[in-house]
Amino acid sequence: MKRGIIICGILLFIPLFSFSFNLRIDTPKIKLKVKGGETITGSIKVENPSSEKIEVKIYLEDFLYTSPYDGAKQFFAPGTTEFSCSSWINFSPQEIVLPPFGKRRVNYSIKIPSEIEGGRYAVLFFETSLGEIEEEREGANIVILGRIGTLFFLEAKDSIKRADLENLKVEEGTIKGDFVNRSNVVIVSRGNFYIMDERGMVLDRGKIQDIYTFPNDKVPISIKPSKDLPSGRYTLISTFDLEEGDVLVKEIDFLKDSLGDIRILQVRD
């Protein structure tokens, strides 16, 4: 019985294919509400779960969310973006060698300036490579680097999330608009909608795409009411959960005519 459990346990952890390098961390995201002048310290565990030694380079970069704003990021040199906190973070060591199945803690300290407003962000990368290009080799050669990032989200304790839904219009039976981050912090929105007729009966409901934005980002969203809605007057209630109890709600009254065309009548908060 005991042996069976051990064998099952081993089988569960055998991957479907063997890997050439493997890197693991225990803290992919550090999200803190901070106040001016404070210092925060902590550590991140880095592991090599493979049977080969790996060298890990550790460094900071800035990041911004990028199109299609589904969490996709663009990375920049540290301290080069408007919302960077790279210069506030110190860490040690900057390079480590992990033996097979070895682990090590990387310590960090964050020194918040005396005054902070809104949010500041950075990413600490743990990078390793499979090999190096031999200079003498002929032809076309490409080296592969792999890295895992710990995202830092440092936001002032009194920061407020504000977002809006703008430029609402109808195109090909779809209600379109722009989700705009009007605050000075990152906003992650998870939205949904439902459509009621004049009697208050819910005839359609659905999900709006998850949106990841930095301040002033404008992201197109679209809501397609069901084709089965008969002609008539409706109210679409869209709700965007901005996390930590903040919510954006928009009510859109619209008319669907006998030809199936949709016209927005009124938008309310």
Partner 1 sequence: MRGWLKTIGSLVIILGLALPGLTQSSKSITISATISPVEDLSVSISRIEGSNWYPNQTSIDFGTLSYDITNNIFRANCYYAVDVGVSGNVSDWIITHSVSSIKNAAGTDSLDNNINVSFNQQLDDTTANEIGYYSYAQSNRSFNKSQISPGWLRIYYGIATGSGDASGVESITTAKPAGTYTGTITLTLTPQ
Binding positions for partner 1, rule: CB under 8 A: 15-29, 49-50, 63, 70-73, 75, 123, 125, 130-133, 137-149, 151, 210, 212
Tokens describing residue 92: 């040690």
Cβ closest to partner 1, residue 14 vs residue 201: 14
Least separation in angstroms between CB 116 and partner 1: 23
Question: Minimum CB separation from partner 1 for residue 136, in Å?
Answer: 8
In angstroms, how far is CA 183 from the centroid of its own chain? Answer: 17
Q: Which amino acid is at 240?
A: F
Pick 133 or 201: Cβ nearer partner 1:
133
Distance between CA atoms of 144 and 225, rounded to whole angstroms? Answer: 45
DSSP class of residue 86 equals G
> What is residue 107's three-state secondary structure?
strand
Residue 31 to residues 58, 78, 101, 123: CA-CA distances in angstroms?
A: 20, 19, 29, 12
Min dist CB 112 to partner 1, Å, is 22
Question: In terms of CB distance, is 68 or 173 closer to partner 1?
Answer: 68
Min dist CB 181 to partner 1, Å, is: 17
Question: Is the CB of residue 83 less than 8 Å from the CB of residue 119?
Answer: yes
Which is nearer to partner 1, 143 or 259 (by Cβ)? Answer: 143
Question: CA nearest 157: which of 122, 116, 190?
Answer: 116
Alpha-carbon span 231 to 151, nearest angstrom: 48
Q: Give the side-chain half-sphere CA count within 13 A for 105.
A: 5
Report, in Å, the least distance between residue 19 CB and partner 1: 4
Residues 66/67/68/70 CA torsion (nearest 10 deg): 0
Q: Which is nearer to partner 1, 128 or 184 (CB)?
A: 128
Q: Which is nearer to partner 1, 138 or 228 (CB)?
A: 138
Rounded to the nearest whole angstrom, what is the least distance from the CB of residue 13 to partner 1 in the complex? 10
